[in-house]
Structure 1
Amino acid sequence: MKIKLEADVLKDNNLAANYNRETFNRNKTLVINIMSSPGAGKTTLLEETIKALGNDFTAAVIEGDLATDRDAERLRSLGVKTTQINTVGGCHLDARMIAKVLPEFELEDIDILFIENIGNLVCPSGYDLGQDYKVVVLSVPEGNDKIPKYPVMFRRTDLTIINKVDLLPYVSFNVEEAKQDLESINPAAKLKVLSAKTGEGLEGWVNWIKEAHSQCTKH
């Protein structure tokens, strides 16, 4: 019975995800679903990414949180169209939530839509939102055990970002070990190592986005 329930839930989600994907593709909007545990630095990364993209791209954000719109307000202060979704206890966004807020966006005028998912390394990995890419952010204070302990998350993502590398002198984290763990779980995944706070390595991430957008517009 548990299997049937899960199948039914995911069937409904996937129908909505397909609707979202068709909508995004029709408008040639690149959509990136960003996931992490709480406090890994998703919002700071988005702030600095949007600044780095400058006037070359029009970005927008769907901001997911259990409660409050504090992160959304940080992004709105940059002049970025940001819509808040509060799940009121739900541990992930789903495709139906995304579909419900899409009418708030003029997608034909948006080059890149970032979805900042709920801070959780379990639930968000199983839900297709209709995105082009799934990205997971791992911050060095979390330690080296997260990739092997949460393999499903890292197996289902296209890109892993190791964030807060400016803290490497102060925490116990081995970047090479993380690279090896990721390769053993998901050999096809890309990896970027950076500090959203200092800007170290940010250019590589921004260039990845630009390349992804160029591929998106070719469809």
Structure 2
Amino acid sequence: MASSDEFQKIPLPESQLDFPGDPYSVSILKVGYNNPQPDGTFRADGTVTLVTAADGNNILVDTGGPWDGDFLVECLRKKGLRPGDVRLVVGTHGHSDHIGNLNLFPSADVIVGHDVSRGDVYRPNRLSLGHAHVVDEHVRVVPTPGHTGQDVSVQVKGTSAGTVLVAGDLFDCCRDEDTWRSLSLDPAAQEASRGEALRTADVIVPGHGLPFRVLRNS
């Protein structure tokens, strides 16, 4: 299990939301947020991330809340894409601020939690057994349980920043050490998942904040 003296988490600026690479590039379309309100409620939306490849193997990780539909379509348009150009949509977990626009992608393969499907056809996989779902040699969907029992993250190798992990709510934000446990279904499992992420990723895209770089001290 990783300890705080083994690594540093360095928040990246708002100007650094794109990580080009070969064959895959990672672009954050929307930075998520989680803001407590005076009346005891909170306003929240999940980070939305696009993974693109020159061969058209485009992957969307989380779709934001259902209020984000028009915004998401416009973000894709600015990237020269339509919803039909997205081949795989990954929902890191089943909360409404992360999978609110799955309906925009009826022809894509969909992974939400441990379900892998296209349309109404669900495919066998080994995510529930702790095994990664391999897209290809550069991209894997990896189980990262804790926040919920079926959280997954998307690992992208070969970007300009090294290995990028689009982590959903495995990390709420860069500086979440005092808050993540209260939002966790299984804090022990999440702590183990976080430790593995910090050992293997160079940049982590959290569910509700700016991306951050991981510097390992050993």
Q: Same fold (TM over 0.5)?
A: no
TM-score for both structures, normalised by structure 2: 0.33
Higher RCO (C-alpha 8 Å, min separation 6): 1
Structure (1/2) with the larger helix percentage: 1
Structure (1/2) with the larger strand percentage: 2
TM-score for both structures, normalised by structure 1: 0.33
